Amino acid sequence: MKPRDDGRVSIFLAIALAGMLMVIGLAYDGAGQLGALQRAHNLAAEAARAGGQSIDRAQAIEGGPTQINQAEAVAAVDAYRAAAGVGGPPPTFSTGPDGQPLIQVEVSVTYDNKFLDVFGFSDTSTVTGTATAVLLTTPDE
């Protein structure tokens, strides 16, 4: 009597199909996370620009060095992030190598996984983008 092979192909196809769906899910959600990372970097750059426009007007009008008004910059960054629906820590302020004021902003964006949560991965992934804006001034001639 010959051994029966009935059903072996069905089991193989079921396992192969599950593996292929997992690879497709990895590709789809991986691309989604890359898109969220790009969005986080773009939003961080835009929020840094918004904060960098908050200069200390009184000091600039008097002819002093142009500096960032930190309280206004923090408010501008927070308002921009709130309007975009993202979060992040307060911006940091520093001075560049040539003495120019810098503002660094970090933005966190959450991506909702579409396929990977079906296979036991987390439902969401959080990505972070960082950008620095430099306050540039031109001398009066």
Name the DSSP letter for residue 126. E
- Per the model's pLDDT, the better-predicted residue between 23 and 3 turns out to be 23
Residue 93: pLDDT over 80? yes
E strand or H helix that includes residue 80: helix 70-84
Query: Whole-angstrom Cα distance, residue 55 to residue 76?
Result: 11
Residue 1: pLDDT over 60? no
So where are the chain's domains? Answer: 8-134
pLDDT tens-digit profile of 98-141?
888 999 999 999 999 888 777 777 888 999 999 999 988 766 55
Angle at 73 between CA 69 and CA 77, to 5 degrees: 175
The pLDDT, as a whole number, for residue 7 is 59
pLDDT tens-digit profile of 33-89?
999 999 999 999 999 999 999 988 888 788 777 888 999 999 999 999 999 999 999
The pLDDT, as a whole number, for residue 123 is 87
The owner of tokens 């773009």 is 42
Residue 128's DSSP bridge partners are 108
The pLDDT, as a whole number, for residue 62 is 81
